[in-house]
Chains A and B, each alone.
Chain A
Amino acid sequence: MKAERLTVGYGELQLFKDLDLQLRSGELVCFMGPNGCGKSTLIKTLAGLLPPLSGSIPKRDEKKVAVVLTDRIQSQHMTVNELIVYGRYPYLGWDLKLSDLDREIIDQSIELVHIRNLINKKINELSDGQMQMVMIARALAQDTPVLLLDEPTAHLDLNNRLEIMNLLRKLAREKGKSILLATHELDLALQTADSVWLASGNTIKTGVPEDLVLDGSFDRVFQFKGYDLKTGRVQHEVYRKKTIKLIGNDAVYLWTKNALERNGFEVTTTGELEVIIDTNEWRCNGKKFRQLEDLLLALDQF
């Protein structure tokens, strides 16, 4: 899918200007940018739902592009199964008769997204996460080479977000689909996307996520307040005079360091106070602590 010299927006308002964009097959692209920068507008334009202000995009083709939008579907009586069948509409006649192939593709989509237990439920009985999975199954049933998703992981808990991202990656790799998803969840996008579209003013910067991190593009766009993208950590203010020398390794080391820094200590290799990590305990100043909470309380006193 290709767009050339594309300008999108509404009437006088130009959100993006002269974009040259390309979606390759087998690629999962995360489209990122601050809230209100026009992510949904671009997705709708690429889906052929909004006319571009200028430039060329492929004509809307329901057999090539399937979308998951943020529009809510309100219908008291609709079942999950009925909703997924909509994915086959581009291939059905006026009488809506499903062929064996249609049924098979619907079945595969249900299988891929692991929602077989939901198919007889009414859609208004579903949680947000389940609904999102059902909408993805519906889009998959459309059997298109391109998939556009607008904020598919919004309002979901970490597990659901991870499940959706892993599913999309798998689809891109195994089925060779081009998948574009708009999101503002930085951590997840950086770790799963093959490529990133980063909205920056009225242009879009594209590249491998790590490149955009290292060249500072993300910092410029998001203007992070206390978040160090290069280490992936929240920056903590050092407000205690004591520096700590932490000895240990593995996950316990990282989480201990996290706790100490959050509490305003600077952790260095030459710290004045020594904290040693042992199996199941911490040692400091000759005392032993079974829990970090106790250690932090004690450090307060020193």
Chain B
Amino acid sequence: MNKGKNADFKWLWLAVALVALFFLRLFFGSVHVPAAEIFSNELVLKFRLPIAVTCVLAGSALAVSGLLMQTLFRNALAGPDVLGLTSGSSLMVAILILAGNGFSMTFATPWTLAIAASVGAAGVFLLILLISQYVNDNTSLLIIGLMIGATTASVVGVLQYVSRAEDLQAFMIWGLGSVGSTNWNEIIVLSVIAIAGTILSLINMKSLNALLLGENYASTVGVSVKRSRLLILTSASILVGGVTAFCGPIAFVGLAVPHLVRIIIPTTNHKVLLPSVFLGGGVLLLFCDIIAQLPGSTQVLPLNAVTSMVGAPVVIWLIIKNRKVNI
């Protein structure tokens, strides 16, 4: 029993790590700012603070969405990028910017962008859910997710080919987007989305736990599988859509964080897992972004390259260690 109590509070360490990395992120950058000036320096407040806040929000949102999908599909390799949700979001953003004929970036408010991206994610999620009713096999589901991703990517390619030059330019800028290009308006929208999606998941944690037993057992302990699927679809889609709308596609965070967190806190209880994964997502993305700054140099790496470098080995290591991965 004591063991369980300790596990319940292990997530506090993640909170400590999050705060520490947050300040480290404010400290590191291409220009050296003395530690004493961190809260008064204009450069820090204007540029580094929004980046650090975005890292926390985007990392947390992606990680929570990854956990939701792994639980729903009882598939350890599920995640927003693997199952094509990120691509769905990108497609909707592309349609909004490229096919909008004059409806360029200037007219797209943070809200319309976020809503469009969420609708794109939800569309793919719904498709995967429908297919999962017929295909009862984890590997096939992942392959189908990858195929959906490939299809949407090629549609985006076609849209780029036929779109006007100025729209294309706006889209290219969005596509390069990372945690470094968000303004405060976007951050407000992103925080509303990240918090709403996580609260929605917390309300749903009883169903999430029950789904780990499989849909039959979940039903026999009084959980409505249909209702919880809908809740998961909604929360995961807005989380992924929100992040993708403002930061572009970020790979591996959603997939890797739930596994990394379970190494530290080995539990299946979403009451502990959800807050832990939320914090863990922020920690990982802050960590990756600090590495991307290459502290001490004036060069900056693309964030996606760093998350993949951290995420991919983790997945390989997990599979080799367990011969297979479990949720």
A: residues with CB less than 8 A from B are 44, 47-49, 60, 62-63, 65-67, 69, 71, 73-78, 81-82, 86-87, 89-90, 92-96, 120, 124, 142
B74 and A74: CB pair below 8 A?
A: yes
Q: Which of B211-228 touch A at CB < 8 Å?
A: 212-214, 216-217, 219-223
B266 and A77: CB pair below 8 A?
A: yes
CB distance from B71 to the nearest CB of A (A): 10
Candidates B205, B217, B266, B326; contact of A86 at CB < 8 Å: B217
Does B322 interact with chain A (Cβ within 8 Å)? yes
Chain B residues within 8 Å of chain A by Cβ, number: 28
**Would A86 and B209 be within 8 Å (CB), given that A81-B4, A94-B203, A120-B3 are in contact?**
yes
A49 and B205: CB pair below 8 A?
A: no
B268 and A82: CB pair below 8 A?
A: yes
Candidates B204, B206, B221, B267; contact of A142 at CB < 8 Å: B221
B222 and A89: CB pair below 8 A?
A: yes
Residues of chain A with a CB closer than 8 A to B204's CB? 94
Interface of A, helix, strand, loop or mixed by DSSP: loop
Residues of chain B with a CB closer than 8 A to A87's CB? 221
Once the chains are docked, how many angstroms separate the CA of A76 from the CA of B74? 12
Does B195 interact with chain A (Cβ within 8 Å)? no
CB distance from B99 to the nearest CB of A (A): 42
B197-210 near A? 1/0 per residue, CB < 8 Å:
00000011110011
B267 nearest in chain A by CB position? A77
Once the chains are docked, how many angstroms separate the CA of A74 from the CA of B211? 11
Once the chains are docked, how many angstroms separate the CA of A66 from the CA of B4? 26
CB distance from B158 to the nearest CB of A (A): 41
A119 nearest in chain B by CB position? B1
A47 and B327: CB pair below 8 A?
A: no
Once the chains are docked, how many angstroms separate the CA of A81 from the CA of B327? 17
Q: List 26 A-B contacts (CB under 8 A).
A: A44-B216, A62-B220, A62-B221, A62-B222, A63-B222, A66-B220, A67-B217, A71-B213, A75-B268, A75-B326, A75-B327, A76-B322, A76-B326, A76-B327, A77-B266, A77-B268, A78-B212, A86-B209, A86-B217, A86-B221, A87-B221, A89-B209, A90-B222, A94-B206, A96-B205, A142-B221
B271 and A96: CB pair below 8 A?
A: yes
**Would A73 and B214 be within 8 Å (CB), given that A49-B220, A65-B220 are in contact?**
yes
Residues of chain A with a CB closer than 8 A to B4's CB? 81
Once the chains are docked, how many angstroms separate the CA of A74 from the CA of B205? 19
Once the chains are docked, how many angstroms separate the CA of A21 from the CA of B267? 42
Residues of chain B with a CB closer than 8 A to A73's CB? 212-214, 217
Does B262 interact with chain A (Cβ within 8 Å)? yes
